[in-house]
Structure formats: C-alpha cells, structure tokens
C-alpha cells in the first residue's frame, strides 16, 4: 500500500517506520528541511530505543523516504496520515493550526480519491473541520478518518507493532476496508481493531490519557496521606493493585506526571467540556494535584535545609519525565531545578539520555555531569527524579565517599528505608518511612 505521513515528530516517525516495516511504501513529509536531510541519512532526531535501525533498514530497502514536498506526499499516497503537533493554547485547548494547514495543503494537492487520517491528538470535531477544509479546495472525493495513537515513549515500537487495540473512527465502507487491511499485520495475535464513529474515536484518546493521569494523581495524594499517617504507600499500592478490577499499572507514586501527552490532554479535555457547557471537576482536580506534586520535593528540601540554599550543591539524577526517553516536556525535574536555582543552590544534573534536552532548557545555569557518580562530588544531597535502571542499584558506599553529606531525596521510591538506615543515610522517600 502507498502510505503518506505528514509530520515527522514522535508519532509520525514511529508510524512511518512501522508501516514501512510491514511492506508498505511510505513517504514522510515535513517542512523542517534540516530534519528531513538528517532523516534521509538515517539520523534520528529523537531518542527512542530501536527506532534508528528500523528507519535505516527501511531506507536501505527503499520502502521509506522523507521529503519537504508535502504536495508530493499527497499525490503519491493512497492513505495520508496527519501527524503534526497540537500544542496547547493559553486556555488549554489544542492548537489546530498545523493540522488545518496540512488539510489545506492536502486539498490543494489532491489528484484522485484519498483517505485522510488524523493521527495527531485532536479534540472532538477536528475531523469534521479537516474534511471541510479539504473539500473546499478539491473536487476529488476524500474519506476523513480518526486513528488516535497510544504510544508510550520508550516502548513506542512495541506499542505500534503489537498494540493492545487499534481504534479507528470511520464513516465509509472503503475507508474501513483499506485501514483494516493496513493494520491487519499488527493484530495477528488477536488484539482488536475497534471501529467506531469519528467523534467517539477522537474522544477515546483523551479519555484514555485522562484515566491514566487520574490514577497517578490519586496515588500521589495517597502517598501524601501515607506521609501523615505513617502508612507505607508501597504496601498500599500492592494491596490495591492486586484487585483484578483495578490492576497494578500506573499506581506508582512519583513527582508528578509530565511528557507531551498527559498534561496537555487533561487540559484539552477540560476545555472541550467547557465548550459544551460541562464543568469537568475531577480532571481539574487531577491537574491541580499534579502541579502541586511537582513542588513536593522542593518543599522536602526546604524542610531539611531551610529556604535559603545558597552555598548548597544539589545533585539531580534523572531529567527526562520518564526513563527510556530524552523528552523533558513538562518534566517535574524542571520545576525542581528552577526552584533550586531560585533559592541559590548549585545544581549538578545527570540523565542517561536527556542531557541535550536539558542544555536547551537550562543552558549554563546548571552543571552537567556525563556520569551519574560525577554529579555527586561535593553534593549536600541527591534527588532521584527519574527511575532509570542504572539508578536502582547504585554503589552506596561510593556515594557516601563522594557526597558532602549522605542525604537522598527519592521521588521514585527506588530504595528501601531499612537499608538506608543500615547504611546511615538520611533518606526521604515518598509515602514511606523517612530515615534520619
């Protein structure tokens, strides 16, 4: 099948590479000439395990190419996926300018019947606006569909190649048949392709992310209650997660959720509800809890050291919002580090993948440590913000030698309080017994 993908960000690049891997001829378009030049040389602009060899292999085999000529993508493709960004506006709603600009470009370039699929995360009613835009600029028939993505950064290839489900909002038998054929190789193990109306498909993406964000914020609230009552949030999590009606996923407390999806999508769903005259109280609370959670470990540091951190050196392990990615969008580490700098602290930062992203945010305002232990030299405290595997079993004796004082603030509950006590660390976890 001839497939076009417009937008080579996280979603578009993964989709294009995976469609090519199953034998389709895929052309990906983007207006960023520098990015396209790099992609045609096999250079990947994002950190995603396994993506670079997949792109390189399909480039070499001639099934995948990249271009800045968006009209070419339209002309040469039977199915065209729109995968451009939808950043939040000031009021929290999704900014659809890029999506509608692409729709206009498709309409101006159509040379025959096309199937156009919104892959970007878009609010209810966007597909209708895309159809209206295209049909106003062409006489060729167009089938507009919705196909929300459910990719986890750090596991995107597996999510795309072996999805839990594929959600497709379609309104024509032809679009249903073509898209079912396109996705058939990915669901051979029996996971479903769920066909529905377009509006329901558009809403499904937001509700899925809102549900996961709600679980995270709930457990972060529970962790705060555990701090007050003396309960152990890890034991509470295990007890609750063993209920098969609930399950164990997304029940780990932490410093707040970040990334490109949860913060943006929660706000966008609240805004959509407001446009229809509904006050989405739960999601407003979820968002408020998350904003407060991002400041929690800054508050813990203040309680330990006092509000003035001048002369203090604080090491931060983990800058990306989650392991397996270099993405720092809405990362809790940004709130922490900005707060530390505002209070006069010197910050040593380390992350296995996100050092480049951090430099774009903080420039020379923090010290970048290429090795995790280098960040600990002379540190008054360590804050663990991201649960990368390499942080889970460190050499604690080496840490004590390097640090000025053996104080750990563990926003991910990676270590056991009993062992920290035995090793004579001052240890502040989340919703578990502190050691001093």
Same domain flag for 315 and 332 = yes
Both 177 and 28 in one domain: the answer is: yes
The CATH number linked to 238 is 1.10.1040.10
Are 350 and 317 in contact by the 8 Å Cβ rule? The answer is yes
Residues 21 and 112 in one domain: yes
pLDDT digits (tens, 9 = 90+) for 51-70: 999 999 999 999 999 999 99
Structure tokens at 412: 């991910």
Residues with catalytic function:
261
Say if 433 falls within a structural domain.
no
Among residues 231, 264, 292, which one ends one of the domains? Answer: 292
For the segment 82-124, what is each residue's pLDDT rounded down to a tens digit?
A: 999 888 877 778 889 999 999 999 999 999 999 999 998 899 9
Q: Is the residue at 363 inside a domain?
A: yes
Q: Decide which of 196, 229, 246 is a domain's last residue.
A: 196
* 35 and 130 assigned to the same domain: yes
245 within some domain: yes
Per-residue pLDDT of the chain (436 residues; tens, 9 = 90+): 999 999 999 999 999 999 999 999 999 999 999 999 999 999 999 999 999 999 999 999 999 999 999 999 999 999 999 999 888 877 778 889 999 999 999 999 999 999 999 998 899 999 999 999 999 999 999 999 999 999 999 999 999 999 999 999 999 999 999 999 999 999 998 899 999 999 999 999 999 999 999 999 999 999 999 999 999 999 999 999 999 999 999 999 999 999 989 999 999 999 999 999 999 999 999 999 999 999 999 999 999 999 999 999 999 999 999 999 999 999 999 999 999 999 999 999 999 999 999 999 999 999 999 999 999 999 999 999 999 999 999 999 999 999 999 999 999 999 999 999 999 999 999 999 999 8
Q: How many domains does the chain have?
A: 3
For residue 284, report the phi and psi dihedrals to the nearest 5 degrees. Answer: -60, -40
Claim to verify: residue 421 and residue 320 sit in the same structural domain: yes
Residue 434 lies in a domain: no
Domain co-membership, 22 together with 120: yes
Domain end call among 162, 196, 230: 196
Domain that holds residue 319: 294-428
Q: Please indicate, yes or no, whether residues 188 and 225 belong to a single structural domain of this protein.
A: no
Residue 436 inside a domain? The answer is no
């Amino acid at each position: 099948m001839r497939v076009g993908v417009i937008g080579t960000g996280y979603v578009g690049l993964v989709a294009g590479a995976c469609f090519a891997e199953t034998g389709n001829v895929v052309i990906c378009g983007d207006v960023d000439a520098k990015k396209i030049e790099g992609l045609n040389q096999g250079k990947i602009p994002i950190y995603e395990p396994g993506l670079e060899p997949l792109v390189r292999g399909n480039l070499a085999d001639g099934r995948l190419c990249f271009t800045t000529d968006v009209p070419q993508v339209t002309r040469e493709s039977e199915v065209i996926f729109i995968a451009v960004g939808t950043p939040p506006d000031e009021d929290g709603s999704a900014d659809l300018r890029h999506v509608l600009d692409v729709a206009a470009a498709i309409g101006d370039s159509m040379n025959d019947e096309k199937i156009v699929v919104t892959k970007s995360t878009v609010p209810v009613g966007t597909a209708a606006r895309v159809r209206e835009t295209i049909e106003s600029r062409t006489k060729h028939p167009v089938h507009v569909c919705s196909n929300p993505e459910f990719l986890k950064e750090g596991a995107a290839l597996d999510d795309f190649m072996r999805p839990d489900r594929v959600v497709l909002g379609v309104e024509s038998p032809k679009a249903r048949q073509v898209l079912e054929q396109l996705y058939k190789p990915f669901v051979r193990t029996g996971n479903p392709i769920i066909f529905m109306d377009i509006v329901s498909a558009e809403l499904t993406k937001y509700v899925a992310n809102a549900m996961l964000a709600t679980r995270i914020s709930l457990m972060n609230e529970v962790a705060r209650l555990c701090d007050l009552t003396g309960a152990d949030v890890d034991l509470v999590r295990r007890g609750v997660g063993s209920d098969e009606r609930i399950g164990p996923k997304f029940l780990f407390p932490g410093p707040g959720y970040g990334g490109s999806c949860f913060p943006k999508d929660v706000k966008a769903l609240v805004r959509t509800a407001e446009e229809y005259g509904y006050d989405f109280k739960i999601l407003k609370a979820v968002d408020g809890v998350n904003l407060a959670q991002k400041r929690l470990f800054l508050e813990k540091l203040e309680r330990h050291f006092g509000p003035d951190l001048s002369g203090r050196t604080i090491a931060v392990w983990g800058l990306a919002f989650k392991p397996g990615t270099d993405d720092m969008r809405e990362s809790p580490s940004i709130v922490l580090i900005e707060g530390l700098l505002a209070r006069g602290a010197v910050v040593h930062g380390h992350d296995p993948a996100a050092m480049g992203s951090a430099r774009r945010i903080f420039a020379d305002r923090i010290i970048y440590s290429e090795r995790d232990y280098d960040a600990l030299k002379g540190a008054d405290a360590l804050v663990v913000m991201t649960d990368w595997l390499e942080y889970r079993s460190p050499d604690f004796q080496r840490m004590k030698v390097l640090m000025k004082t053996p104080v750990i603030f563990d926003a991910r509950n990676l270590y056991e309080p009993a062992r920290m006590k035995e090793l004579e660390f001052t240890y502040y976890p989340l919703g578990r017994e502190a050691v001093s």
